Amino acid sequence: MCGDESACSIVASSKAILEADPGSRFGMYTIDGDGDGDIEPFEVFCDMETDGGGWTELTPMIACTSLSAVMDYDVQAPTEGIDAECRPYTRDAAGAHSYHYTIPSPAGFSGFYLNEYVMKANASGGVNTSDIYASWSQTVWTSAYQGSTGDISFGSAAEAGP
Length of the chain: 162
pTM of the model: 0.67
Report which of residues 73 and 93 the model is more confident about: 73
Give the pLDDT confidence of 80-117 residue by residue, as tens digits. 888 888 878 777 766 777 777 788 877 666 677 777 77
Q: In the chain, how long is the greatest CA-to-CA distance?
A: 60
pLDDT score of 69 more than 70: yes
Question: What is the structure's pLDDT at 3?
Answer: 44
Separation CA 119–CA 142 (nearest Å)? 18
Separation CA 35–CA 85 (nearest Å)? 27
Q: DSSP assignment of 46-109, as one string?
A: EESSGGGS-EEEE-HHHHHHTS--EEEEEE--SEEEE-TTS-EEEE-TTS--EEEEE----TT-
Question: What is the structure's pLDDT at 144?
Answer: 60
pLDDT score of 129 more than 60: no
Map residue 7 onto helix, strand or coil.
Answer: helix
Residue 14 phi/psi, 5-degree rounding, is -60, -40
Q: Once rounded to an integer, what is the mean pLDDT over residues 132-150?
A: 57
Residue 61 phi/psi, 5-degree rounding, is -65, -40
